[in-house]
Structure 1
Amino acid sequence: MPLIAEVGWGGLVQAPETITWTDISTYVDVDQQGVTIARGASDELSETQPGTATLLLDNVDGRFTAGNALSPYYPYVRRNAPIRLSVAVMPAKAGSAPYPMAQLADDFDDNRVNTTLWPSNYGGATETGGRARIPVTTAGSAGFLSAREWTLTGSKLTARLVTLPGANGSSVALASMWANSTTSGTRLGWRYNAVTGAITAENQVGFTDAAPTSATYNPRDYAWLRIRESGGTVYWESSGDGWDWTVRRTLATPAWVTSQTLTAEFPTSRTGGTNDFVEWDLVGAEVRPRFWGLVNDWPTRLQGLSSTVLITCTDLFKRLNRRPALRSMLGEEILTLSPMVYFPLTEDSTSTTAGDVGGNGAPSLAITQAGAGGTLALGSADGPTETGEQVPVFTPSTATAGKWLMADLGPQFEDTTVSYLTFEAWFKTTTTGRAIMGVHSLDLVNQHVLSIAAGGTLQIEWTSDGTALTVEAVTSPATLADGNWHHVVYDQREGKVWIDGTLTDSALAVPRRFYERVLHVGGYRGTRLWNGSIGHAVVYATDTYSVGPLITGHYSAGMTGFAGEDADVRIQRLASYASVDSVTISGSTFDPIASQGPGGTQVVARMREVESTESGRLFAERDYYGLAFQSRDLRYNPDPSSEVFTIAYADLETKSVELADDDQKLVNSLEASRPGGATQKVTAPSSIQAFGIYDPGALSILKTSDNSVLDAAYWRVSRYADPAPELREVPIEAYTMSTYLDILDADISSYFSVTSMPAQSPASSMRVTVEGYTETIKEKSHLIQFHTSATNNDSVWVLDDPTYSVLDSTTRLAY
């Protein structure tokens, strides 16, 4: 059960696909300290907590000392370095020959060649440093060769390629992994060519393959290699972590694969150049990820001439919890599209300038006076309905006397405007013939203005030669000067305009690619001064693609806060605000969610609101940089076949087991409400009569109807008005169990059963749901303490079902 600990030195956690991982497993203390990992929640009513991991590293040579210029990892021994932990389970040989090739397993950890497994290790091949080390030498071939006792049919050959040979001036330098037939030169496998840097998937006959599948080797994709046969097809697969595999080639299974007993071989050869070696490891390993996250710090402990570093690590939630409070949903939607400049115009009434939050360092918009009189009051009017923000009020004396906002955005902006531009803004007015926003070059040769025509419709004005502005009328509603908030998007690249989320014109003939740098908002060059409010003025550069269609949803963001979208969609939307692209959605029951439009809270807090509203589960994945969101129906009435494993009571790693029968979860009275809805109450009279009132306090959730709130309250009370005795902690020494791999597959919301319970138990078998776990990984030990709940808490009524229609027991209506 080798531990695999890898650090992505210098890698960007937000770009996990670009990380190159370095194995530091040999420095981890698994003999004494062990590796401790905590994940999930203590019970089903608690929020999942950020996952953590703790490792003690041998630092005798200072390689893990932050700031040590002599470290081979310098300067990347630093906080927030990506880290991932896995265990490699080595299958045991069972049955009689010929054995499935998946049982050919060797971790090479004792530095002695297993001559039973590898009766022919030739050319100086050794087991060194916990790996199979095979010379790549001009002296002749070298390699590890197994006994002829294996079959590939319905099985696989897996290995980790750890150290590559170099070209070293050779004309030929090869390292391979083969499943050999009884005919010399007829074989399937992978081959690395150090001279070309290519990794090839080959089906050789007579030592050649006329059409191998070739790729340039990189450890992110090809650190692990395997050949697998299933259902009449051979698969060549590769992986960066030994867990997530990608098919690189397929082939109809050759006849010899199903009819012959095979050998496995790892040979090398070199012609000319300088000798070196290749290293393979973990042949046959089944990898199970246990943790993916960030190293919090690298505290160096000095004891005499020895040194250790005890690192603590936290999963993806560490990064999410560090993020600042979100802007409004509208603001976050804009920022995800990486605007050139974004002026929300949400400064308070004491401000005299308005800043860019697009992140490109643009100057602020300054209040600018035209003529005499008029006012511009920042932070004085309610913005679009669901933003919860205040925006400016422009009140000119006349169209040419008053104040507007202006800034020279500088040469950087001007250089960028060689791209196509897309403009976006919100506006509100009852006055026609005024300018919303405009841009121009310093010499006024290039100009571009969005304005309201005298008739109340939208128009675009432009010049590219410094002459009078050409007016391009835009098909739009009869009047936009109706005193209501409106949203406009003008996509210069596509010649399209969207108003209030609807495409209104798609055939504009405005010239494109202007060089411009001076931005005006609420007027243009001291004329057509705006009378009303403007918010969220944005300019995008869209040289390679059009953002217009992506912006149309911003109208819903501002006016409804996406109220009514399903919870799974909301979670993915919120994750995108934190630059998390990967969210695994499980289950199918997701209710509509109310608006979370206004800003001011962190992304995790908003996700937790959705999680609580749905009675779902949100947590970080343990095998990659991503989130998982599970609906409540994922736990409904599990089929026995969905259990990941079963374990006898006598095999639990404890001298005593406690069946909890307390009032920790008891709820028989619950008051619930939603934003803008009624406050409602659900009770369980028989429970109140028996135990008294147990009310956890008011429940406020983001439902969109009173009936949904009532359903949620009923669901809670019906489950916990009289909870049955349950197992809440199940400790297992997984390493010693024949179901080790199955136990490692158990994760949050998985099921398993504890069987053969003592006669004093309420049942001979008790099924539990995993809510979380704490595990300690040591040499030949893997103790997992599962935090569990009673699975039947989530059972729902099925008509005429012998199990799920028992009166007063399993007749709970699904929610």
Structure 2
Amino acid sequence: MPERRTELQIGGTWTNVTTDVRESAPITIDRGAADEATSSDPSKCTLTLNNRHGKYSPRNPLSPYYGLIGRNTPLRVSVKGLESYLAVEGIATSYARTPDAAALDIVGDIDLRAEVTMDWNEPGIHPLVGKWISATNQRSYALSVDSGTLSIWWSTAGTAGVSVSRTLPDLPRRAALRGTLDVNNGSGGYTVNLYWAESLDGPWTAVGASYTTTPATSIYVSTAPLELAPPNLAGAVLMQGRIHRAEVRSGIGGTVVASPDVRALAEGATGWTDSAGRVWTLGAGASISDRQYRFHGEVSAWPSRWDVSGADVYVPIEAAGITRRTGQGKKALDSTLRRRIPSASGLLAYWPMEDGQDAASAYSPLPDVRPMTLTGFDFAADDTLGGAAALPKAKNPATLRATVPRSATAGWQVEWVYNLPALPAVQTEMMRLSVTGATMRTVILYASAAAIRLEVQSSDGTVIGAFTYSDAGALSAFVGKWNRLAIYTGDYGGGATLVTATWRDVTTNFRYFIATAPTTGQGRIDSVSAAWGAALEGTAIGHLAVFSTPGTGVLDAPPTTTIFEGADDGFLGETALARLVRLGAEESAQLDISVRGVDYLTPSERMGPQRPGTLLDLLEECAETDGGILYEHLDRTALVYRDRQSLYNQAVGLALDYTVQGEVPPPLEPAPDDQAVRNDVTVTRSGGSSGRAVLESGPLSVQPPPAGIGPYDEALTLSLYTDTQPALIAQWRMHLGTWDEERYPTITVWLHAAPHLIGDVLGLDIGDRVTIDNTPPQLPPGLIDQQMRGYTEVLGLYDWTLSMNCVPAGPWTVGVLEDPVLGRADTDGSQLASSATSTATSWSVAVTAGPLWITTATRPAEFPFSVTCGGEEVTVTAISGASSPQTFTVTRSVNGIAKPQTAGTSLSLTHPMRAAL
């Protein structure tokens, strides 16, 4: 039994309280989804602390922890792992370092390698190993990961860096990465290759194609030390994770000049000498650890209990993961515009105008900015803009006026969103801007069915600049949709100021410009106002912001402040993974969120606008749309999102054998229930159209028994980008809901009886694949193949058990083009043309629908492959015949089933290609 450890974060320091944990009561951890649950629950850890001296009574003044423990005190539980690692915490002092040496000053070919555990798709550049200090121009070489891409960096003069990157495949959380640079490939240029492997021992798999270009290159000899998790690469986001070992080689596959390997170091070691003679020391924020964390959470209550004698005092603790606390909050995050605009530099004034329906004025979230005065508006009347909460609509008449604090500099930008139902028949003033400190004193924007006009006036009302735009496309774009309108100045040269107005369709992002260049300074905005009559009745308006940032003074150049972009439509079309990453960055003070997926930019489902909602609701909306799993991190108090594509075609995470003691103790009981069956699925895009998928035939179809099982319907509304998505998602959900295979709600492992599995179990996470071989005859034949969605772990004094909640992994095996197994399309219909004995190796197969089977004569390279007939899996080694029936030569009983087969029994591929979502 490995050593178990319980720690509390007391006064900001992790404190070992293991000796106070009662050995008579096991530590029990629940994580992920419970049986029959469709989503992950908050993690939970229960244990009991001895409290005879009142140490764990938060209100006891005699406790050494008085004032240091209480509600939501962090707790973590770990076991001793099989090896040590370098723990880096994503801070500037979290690194390992060896001084500069002549052997490390490589100017020719180089080979960099690192074996790391981390979340590969964390956004930002994460240096893994390198010799690099940007601030003092001491750049030589480095290997890094950036949002799912692998990069090798080098500098030729120390003053700037060159990098080559390739997109990583979906990697296990622990993997080895490698980059090689051939500085002179013999053809007048240099060549870069990038690789990954399961460990530093290889074998290495290329990541993307080689990169070759001219001329040849070289590497600068810097004075920087060699570092693991280098903290001095400008713009980098420091790595948070584990480094197991690394290598720097002079020459590709050449001499090892540094080989930090921490796997055999003692916990708490502060330095070591590697096999190449390099002496390594740790930064203050790094550590050598051998802990494998099984739970991170918070203790919300400290209930003191005692027996009838009063001598035995204890505290039964139930700690919970971060989603328990975040799920209790009901406050919705503000709209995307309201959240983003206040962060803009140069913001002078801002009025979201998202006030409630009984409001009399529009408040500003900025200090010292007075409310905007509005009359004749219906507040909270229009909620159709994706990036905003409900905004006001104008009645007849309606006015608005707001005073702008004085800017310290000349030049400005005013921007807002609006939806004008129809263009006025005659020229009508839409917005008036008052300017001080310049010849121009007023800027007015007019609109009519004939033209859009921008007009600049002096103090006496004289027009000193104007432009009228009558383009039909520009007029059409100005009306009947949500637009963003900006008016801004720029230095035009020669004493003139370019005053520009631009409107941009929030959905299509197409922009129109009008501008005039009067002889005047840029001035400062003093106030904004509007007075609307019947012609502008029904106009919705909001998020009016004033900035002290002038434009470039170039015709048809957009404004320099772009804070509205993306947020105006609620980030419409953003992928689920990109939204999770963005929300994690925006709410980093509240919640740590990481992603596990193939590529967070493109493959996950594109989403509709982000509407106001609680943070947890918005995160769960991403997971629901994409079809992945949102769960709690093992290594820290954080959330992880595992995207749908990372669940496809997984390698086995834990391979069990029923016949080996401790690997699969009882009970192993399939659940032939219907809790996940869905054969009629309707998916609706929020605010859009719907798609439906129905299984019309087969044993799990909507047909009444015995032809099917009858309707099991489901209807759900998702945040989606286009109306093409619902039908595809409905088809995928129906595929998952009609998978005809046993579910194993509990697969248990006794690690105290099967310690050889400890390494694999410690590497297992939510969504990973678990298989059981050599199953007993009373179970269905063949390999049990499941996906682990949650578990209960019990850490006792003499026992360590893991009871996994699983679902079939089969539906997540999807087609791969040109793959020899997963790239085969199935038959449209085939059956035995005549009966066959249990040992017959020649079958007559009739094709009842679709094309014939391939033959050995025409496609010899495509053999052998597996088919299933009547529950028996056979290997097809040859097929002959140019018409139906065809003759199959088969190897019988591949899955252990040996029986006679009758004529008319259907036959199909064992692993047919299935389309992924």
Q: How does 1:729-740 map to 2 (within 5 A)?
A: 729-735=746-752, 736-740=754-758
Q: Which of 372, 375, 379 is the equivalent residue of 1:365? A: 372
Question: After superposition, what is the alpha-carbon deviation per residue over 1:315-359, rounded to whole angstroms, capped at 9, x for unaligned?
Answer: 246325525234555545546769775433244554322233x37
Partner of 1:33: 25
Q: Distance in 1 between matches of 2:463 and 2:63?
A: 64
Q: Which of 22, 30, 36 is the equivalent residue of 2:14? A: 22
Question: After superposition, what is the alpha-carbon deviation per residue over 1:98-124, rounded to whole angstroms, capped at 9, x for unaligned?
Answer: xxxx7xxxxxxxxxxxxxxxxxxxxxx
Secondary structure at 1:713 match in 2: helix
AA aligned opposite 1:771: R
Secondary structure at 2:676 match in 1: coil
Partner of 2:692: 680
Quick one: structure 1 residues 651 and 414, their matched pair in 2 at CA, closer, same or farther if it must change by over 3 Å? farther
AA aligned opposite 1:434: E
Q: Does 1:568 align with 2:592?
A: no
Quick one: structure 1 residues 529 and 662, their matched pair in 2 at CA, closer, same or farther if it must change by over 3 Å? closer
Partner of 2:423: 430
Partner of 2:677: 666
Query: Residues 291 and 622 of structure 1 are in contact (CA less than 8 Å); yes or no, is this contact kept in structure 2?
Result: yes
Query: Residues 8 and 83 of structure 1 are in contact (CA less than 8 Å); yes or no, is this contact kept in structure 2?
Result: yes
Secondary structure at 1:628 match in 2: strand
Query: Residues 396 and 533 of structure 2 are in contact (CA less than 8 Å); yes or no, is this contact kept in structure 1?
Result: no
Partner of 2:775: 757
Partner of 1:79: 71
Once the two structures are TM-superposed, the CA of residue 747 in structure 1 deviates from its matched residue by: 0.8
TM-score, with normalisation over the residues of structure 1?
A: 0.63
Quick one: structure 1 residues 360 and 435, their matched pair in 2 at CA, closer, same or farther if it must change by over 3 Å? same
Same amino acid, percent of matched pairs:
17
Query: Residues 462 and 470 of structure 1 are in contact (CA less than 8 Å); yes or no, is this contact kept in structure 2?
Result: yes
Question: After superposition, what is the alpha-carbon deviation per residue over 1:695-732, rounded to whole angstroms, capped at 9, x for unaligned?
Answer: 14334444556664333333344444362223221122
Q: Does 1:389 align with 2:390?
A: yes
Partner of 2:617: 605
Q: Distance in 2 between matches of 1:466 and 1:61?
A: 84
Q: Which of 296, 311, 318 is the equivalent residue of 2:300? A: 296
Secondary structure at 2:577 match in 1: helix
Query: Residues 400 and 529 of structure 2 are in contact (CA less than 8 Å); yes or no, is this contact kept in structure 1?
Result: yes
Query: Residues 409 and 548 of structure 2 are in contact (CA less than 8 Å); yes or no, is this contact kept in structure 1?
Result: no
Secondary structure at 1:739 match in 2: helix
Partner of 1:139: none
Quick one: structure 1 residues 235 and 683, their matched pair in 2 at CA, closer, same or farther if it must change by over 3 Å? same
AA aligned opposite 1:636: Y
Quick one: structure 1 residues 498 and 467, their matched pair in 2 at CA, closer, same or farther if it must change by over 3 Å? closer
Q: Distance in 2 between matches of 1:4 and 1:449?
A: 69
Q: Does 1:404 align with 2:396?
A: no
Q: Which of 617, 632, 656 is the equivalent residue of 1:620? A: 632
Partner of 1:782: 800
Partner of 1:631: 643
Query: Residues 671 and 679 of structure 1 are in contact (CA less than 8 Å); yes or no, is this contact kept in structure 2?
Result: yes
Q: How does 1:311-330 map to 2 (within 5 A)?
A: 311-316=318-323, 318-319=325-326, 322-330=329-337
AA aligned opposite 1:793: P
Once the two structures are TM-superposed, the CA of residue 749 in structure 1 deviates from its matched residue by: 1.3
Query: Residues 348 and 407 of structure 2 are in contact (CA less than 8 Å); yes or no, is this contact kept in structure 1?
Result: no
Once the two structures are TM-superposed, the CA of residue 655 in structure 1 deviates from its matched residue by: 3.7
Q: Distance in 2 between matches of 1:754 and 1:651?
A: 13
Q: Does 1:746 align with 2:764?
A: yes
Q: Distance in 2 between matches of 1:64 and 1:415?
A: 56
Question: Aligned-pair RMSD on alpha carbons?
Answer: 5.7
Partner of 1:49: 41
Q: Distance in 2 between matches of 1:292 and 1:784?
A: 17
Question: After superposition, what is the alpha-carbon deviation per residue over 1:286-305, rounded to whole angstroms, capped at 9, x for unaligned?
Answer: 33233344443444557569
Question: After superposition, what is the alpha-carbon deviation per residue over 1:752-795, rounded to whole angstroms, capped at 9, x for unaligned?
Answer: 22233223222354222111112233446432211112221323
Instruction: Identify the range of structure 1 (485-494 vs 346-355) with the bigger mean alpha-carbon deviation.
Output: 485-494
Which structure is higher in helix share? 1
Query: Residues 692 and 731 of structure 2 are in contact (CA less than 8 Å); yes or no, is this contact kept in structure 1?
Result: no
Query: Residues 451 and 468 of structure 2 are in contact (CA less than 8 Å); yes or no, is this contact kept in structure 1?
Result: no
Q: Distance in 2 between matches of 1:28 and 1:460?
A: 78
Q: Distance in 2 between matches of 1:305 and 1:595?
A: 57
Secondary structure at 2:394 match in 1: strand
Q: Distance in 2 between matches of 1:578 and 1:160?
A: 22
Query: Residues 235 and 247 of structure 1 are in contact (CA less than 8 Å); yes or no, is this contact kept in structure 2?
Result: no
Q: Does 1:814 align with 2:916?
A: yes
Q: Distance in 1 between matches of 2:77 and 2:769?
A: 23
Quick one: structure 1 residues 762 and 808, their matched pair in 2 at CA, closer, same or farther if it must change by over 3 Å? same
Partner of 1:651: 662
TM-score, with normalisation over the residues of structure 2?
A: 0.57
Q: Distance in 1 between matches of 2:49 and 2:241?
A: 25
Q: Distance in 2 between matches of 1:379 and 1:573?
A: 27
Q: Distance in 2 between matches of 1:314 and 1:665?
A: 26
Q: Distance in 2 between matches of 1:294 and 1:462?
A: 63
Query: Residues 747 and 804 of structure 2 are in contact (CA less than 8 Å); yes or no, is this contact kept in structure 1?
Result: yes
Question: After superposition, what is the alpha-carbon deviation per residue over 1:477-535, rounded to whole angstroms, capped at 9, x for unaligned?
Answer: 7558646542124577999875314566699999999887x754535xx9999766352
Once the two structures are TM-superposed, the CA of residue 393 in structure 1 deviates from its matched residue by: 0.1
Partner of 2:787: 769
Once the two structures are TM-superposed, the CA of residue 244 in structure 1 deviates from its matched residue by: 2.9
Quick one: structure 1 residues 483 and 786, their matched pair in 2 at CA, closer, same or farther if it must change by over 3 Å? closer
Once the two structures are TM-superposed, the CA of residue 49 in structure 1 deviates from its matched residue by: 1.8
Query: Residues 86 and 287 of structure 1 are in contact (CA less than 8 Å); yes or no, is this contact kept in structure 2?
Result: yes
Partner of 1:713: 730
AA aligned opposite 1:787: N
Quick one: structure 1 residues 285 and 672, their matched pair in 2 at CA, closer, same or farther if it must change by over 3 Å? closer
Query: Residues 88 and 242 of structure 2 are in contact (CA less than 8 Å); yes or no, is this contact kept in structure 1?
Result: no
Q: Which of 350, 353, 361 is the equivalent residue of 1:345? A: 353
Aligned length: 645
Q: Distance in 2 between matches of 1:541 and 1:55?
A: 55
Quick one: structure 1 residues 30 and 376, their matched pair in 2 at CA, closer, same or farther if it must change by over 3 Å? same
Once the two structures are TM-superposed, the CA of residue 47 in structure 1 deviates from its matched residue by: 1.4
Question: After superposition, what is the alpha-carbon deviation per residue over 1:21-63, rounded to whole angstroms, capped at 9, x for unaligned?
Answer: 4234446516233433222113587112222333444556666
Once the two structures are TM-superposed, the CA of residue 740 in structure 1 deviates from its matched residue by: 0.8
Query: Residues 749 and 802 of structure 2 are in contact (CA less than 8 Å); yes or no, is this contact kept in structure 1?
Result: yes
AA aligned opposite 2:423: T
Quick one: structure 1 residues 760 and 476, their matched pair in 2 at CA, closer, same or farther if it must change by over 3 Å? farther
Partner of 1:553: 566
Once the two structures are TM-superposed, the CA of residue 547 in structure 1 deviates from its matched residue by: 7.6
Q: Distance in 2 between matches of 1:512 and 1:317?
A: 57
- In the alignment, structure 2 segments of 5+ residues that lack a partner are 90-95, 99-128, 132-137, 141-198, 203-224, 231-237, 272-281, 492-497, 552-558, 816-821, 826-864, 869-906
AA aligned opposite 1:486: N
Quick one: structure 1 residues 52 and 486, their matched pair in 2 at CA, closer, same or farther if it must change by over 3 Å? same
Question: After superposition, what is the alpha-carbon deviation per residue over 1:527-549, rounded to whole angstroms, capped at 9, x for unaligned?
Answer: 99976635222436688999823
Secondary structure at 2:620 match in 1: helix
